Amino acid sequence: MEKTFIMVKPDGLERRLTGEIIRRFENRGLILQEMKMLTPDRTLAEAHYAVHRERPFFGELVSFITSGPVVAMVWEGPDVIKLTRTMIGATKPAEALPGTIRGDYTAELQKNLIHGSDSPESAQYEIDLWFGSK
């Protein structure tokens, strides 16, 4: 069964939305495989967002992700990478539809509550990075 890496970002914990996010995935029938709470250090945050290293928002993004605790998780289910991306909603706030996590709880581009892997390759990379090889 396919696995994906999901992370509740610092704004999600600050806003007490971790339970709501987990509830949505559990209600959908997905299986929680791994979970831990930690404040990522710079090295981990930079590795996680390595694909964005050259983007103008990279520095601010790393500062944001290291600003407080996150909840890192591995979820399993059929087509779980695409399915969770659909449930998370679009990156651009105006395109995040109501009914999605971002579309229901945030209107910000950076503080958008949650990360989800966007492809099988990034899921493998991120699961290895956060949880070791699994």
Select from 37, 50, 53, 91 the one that contacts ligand UDP (CB under 6 A): 91
Dihedral (CA of 30, 34, 37, 40) sign = negative
Minimum CB separation from Mg ion for residue 34, in Å?
Answer: 20
Given Mg ion, ligand UDP, none, residue 91, with its beta carbon under 5 to 8 Å by kind, binds ligand UDP
Burial class (CB in 10 A: 0-12, 13-18, 19+), 107: exposed
Whether 52 is catalytic is no
DSSP state of 51: G
Rounded Cα distance between 107 and 129, Å, is 29
Minimum CB separation from ligand UDP for residue 82, in Å?
Answer: 13
Residues contributing to the site for Mg ion (CB under 5 A): 118
Residues contributing to the site for ligand UDP (CB under 6 A): 57, 61, 91, 109-110, 112, 115, 118
Residues with a known catalytic role? 115
